[in-house]
Amino acid sequence: MQRPASLATLLGFRRPALPASLSRSLSCAQDVLRRTPLYDFHLAHGGRMVAFAGWSLPVQYRDSHVDSHLHTRRHCSLFDVSHMLQTKIFGCDRVKLMESLVVGDIAELKPNQGTLSLFTNEAGGILDDLIVTNTSEGYLYVVSNAGCWDKDLALMQDKVRELQSRGSDVSLEVVDNALLALQGPAAAQVLQAGVAEDLKKLPFMTSAVMEVFGVSGCRVTRCGYTGEDGVEVCQISVPVAGAVHVAMALLQNPEVKLAGLAARDSLRLEAGLCLYGNDIDEHTTPVEGSLSWTLGKRRRVTMDFPGATVIVPQLKGKVERRRVGLMCEGAPMRAHSLILCTEGTVIGTAEMWIHSSAFPLPSPAAQ
């Protein structure tokens, strides 16, 4: 398929539909899919299971997609995101390893502070987006996409072996935890009932290890993927044995409902957030993807990350295409439809769309 001239996330249409980013996954075979620790829990609660990135996950529950989306914005929803790759990077050279692969300034992170960053290749393309946290326990905690699990793990493991062969002190461990995302205006209030720590002292993009509803060893992070403002987002990495217990405890609060992949996708679309493989890929640079802000200031000067010689000049120059968000009226536009200027010239391609009448924006759409 020909690569589009530009990438556009389109917001503002009338009729609901299953997000295009999920439609490809629904046709996958179910027989060899991985299961999260909450698989039986999802079935017991009416989850409609589908194939997604090699995993069997709920696309929605008994509530409609629209109802689930709106409940998240107005109250609080619980998402199972255990399919995402969680890793720990240990050793004195852990920052050296991570900065050899990503565009962000990992060295500047304070204890328990995290940042969104990007794996890039030598051509400047994005291999994946990820969150890196500099924990106070002496390791980097990394969360990346399930769709890139094998690629990301191989990338990091290869770099570990390369640095180890040169005498560097670094190692990698895959975290076998469940991962829950509690998102919506009531998220912090709901979670506060199950932790002793004051969540008001845990600002956006920071995390801490704490006991959650009696389950020890949980890492709570104030970040998420639905466009909430940080106060309304809590991501919980839970030891497998306690995952169902924590999920059940959260559901005891009437503010909380379960939500699936469909709502998660429309929520991130509404906020203008990227989905790897759909809005950005290895042929998209951070500048083209409107993700220049992920490049650390120091890294722009040192230019010591993969693809720096391509990416950094783009910051001050011009690019032929760029991901943008558009608000539209009228009949719904389908994915991959051509975008024309008033003179009729093709200026881009619609990658995704969402209807505004069913999903009213809480604030102006993000770029």
* Per-residue pLDDT at 17: 42
- Choice between 361 and 137, residue whose per-residue pLDDT is larger: 137
- Going through 36-193 in order, the beta strands assigned E by DSSP cover 48-52, 55-60, 76-80, 85-90, 113-120, 126-134, 140-144, 171-174, 177-183
Among 13-27, 142-156, 250-264, 352-366, which stretch is predicted with the lowest mean pLDDT? 13-27
Per-residue model confidence as pLDDT tens digits over 259-315: 999 999 999 888 888 889 888 999 999 999 999 999 999 999 999 999 999 999 999
Per-residue model confidence as pLDDT tens digits over 194-247: 999 999 999 999 999 999 999 999 999 998 777 665 556 789 999 999 999 999
3-state secondary structure of 160: helix
pTM over cut 0.85: yes
pLDDT band at 255 (very low <50, low <70, confident <90, very high): very high
Strongest mean pLDDT among 20-24, 130-134, 221-225, 348-352:
130-134
Query: In angstroms, how far is the first alpha carbon of the chain from the final one?
Result: 26
Return the amino acid letter for 321: R
> Which two structure tokens, joined as six digits, stand for 47?
């989850």
**Residues 340-365: what's their mean pLDDT?**
65
| DSSP per position, 253-299 | STTEEE--HHHHHHHHHHTT---BTTTB-TT--TTTTT-GGGS-HHH
Q: Is 232 annotated as a binding residue?
A: yes
Q: In DSSP terms, which residues pair with 77 in a beta bridge? A: 183, 257
Residue 36 exposed, middle or buried by CB count within 10 Å (0-12, 13-18, 19+): buried
Among 26-35, 71-80, 197-206, which stretch is predicted with the lowest mean pLDDT? 26-35
Helix 65-74 with 261-270: angle, nearest 10 deg: 60
* Per-residue pLDDT at 353: 58
* Per-residue pLDDT at 362: 43
Report how far residue 258's alpha carbon sits from residue 77's, in angstroms, rounded to the nearest whole number.
Answer: 5
Q: How far is CA 344 from CA 273, 338, 341, in A?
A: 29, 10, 5
